Amino acid sequence: MTTCRRKKKSALCAVRKDRIVKMDATSGMLIQAVVVLVPGEGITVMGGRGVGLVTKPGLQVPVGERAINPVPRAMIEKEVEKIKEMAGSDQGCRVVISLPKGKEVARRTLNERLGIVGGLSVLGTTGINVPYSAEAFLASIKRSLEVARGCGHDIVVASSGRRSEKAAMCHMPLAEECFLVAGDHFDFLLSACLELGFGLVCIWAQPAKMAKLAMGMINTSSRLGELEISKLLEKLEGSGFRCPAGPGGARPVFVGQLMEWLGEEEKRGFAARVCAWAEERCVRYCRGELKVVCCMPARDGGLLGRSHAATVLLPGMGYEVVVEEGGGAGYEAS
């Protein structure tokens, strides 16, 4: 606790969030609560400075309200009620939660894409700050999907990382809430899209991640297994693709090395095949109940390759992959 001040009919308390997670933009932030006695008996929890305003449907907070989720709101109300009982008070209370640097920090988060503008959201389930976990990342994927669905979108564009997402945004003119980063968790992503009733998932991934999908590894985390490059090479050669040898006739030992040895035309042929196989595996994972298309970005952000379905399904559903004139249109596999 950094501050605690009391007046006759109000009190202010401030705490600083623990710095236990380096990748958390909110680590070390000041969080303030002001409680004011008001006429009546109820407890009202409000968002003050630095707490964002909800502008899109699909979140746990209605559009037009400050982004304080139901669980922390209920926790605050419960604790204030306890104090009222201890004090023997039947007066009403207004609680205002503020994040003095919330607007500034929010620029480093995905809040605006989710429809939370002008600040941060107050989340949480226990009131205890724990290190960022896989569960938290999966929850963020689900929340992004719910916002996209709440905004009426039937398509979601999922990327393996920020670089792939940046390329996807350049090539697909869609609303920003349609885009999300799935990391390694394409298995969770596809299952959640089925649950929420999406019609189409477009996956953008770098060569190594797409190759894993192509070989049936729908969760691409290295913790669950490494890609057997020999099997990928065998599959490529079985499709008529000629895999080059390195110095002294060496075979590539990882996908990045293979890409280094390929010429531009060969890279596009590789991308087209791998995207097609990845798409097939993802559709199979969804038991054919969800349409999936795959695209692979080039290093410069262009389109290296895409599955044939990406050129058929996307236009058929009113979407497209925009490619600049003469700018790496990429190959497609039939």
For the chain, list the domains and their CATH numbers: 3-117 (3.30.2110.10), 134-333 (no CATH)
- What is the average pLDDT across 138-152? 94
Q: How confident is the model at residue 133 (pLDDT cuts 50, 70, 90)?
A: low
Burial letters 6-15, b for 16+ CB under 10 A, else e:
eeeeebbebe
pLDDT tens for each residue of 238-263: 999 998 887 788 888 889 889 989 99
Q: How do residues 304-327 score in pLDDT, each as one tens digit?
A: 999 888 877 788 777 777 765 334
- Quick one: CA torsion of 19, 118, 75, 71, rounded to 10 degrees? -100
Those residues with Cβ within 8 angstroms of residue 35's Cβ, 6 or more apart along the chain or in another chain: 10, 11, 80, 93, 94, 95
Tokens of 238: 């079985």
User: Picking from 43-52, 168-177, 323-332, which range would have the lowest pLDDT averaged per residue?
Assistant: 323-332
Local confidence band at 334 (pLDDT 50, 70, 90 cut-offs): very low
What percent of the chain shows pLDDT beyond 70?
A: 92
Q: Which amino acid is present at 77?
A: E
pLDDT attached to residue 333: 44
In sign, the C-alpha dihedral spanning 232, 237, 240, 242 is positive
Q: How many CA atoms lie within 13 A of 275 on its CB side?
A: 31
CA-to-CA distance for 301 and 30, rounded, in angstroms? Answer: 38
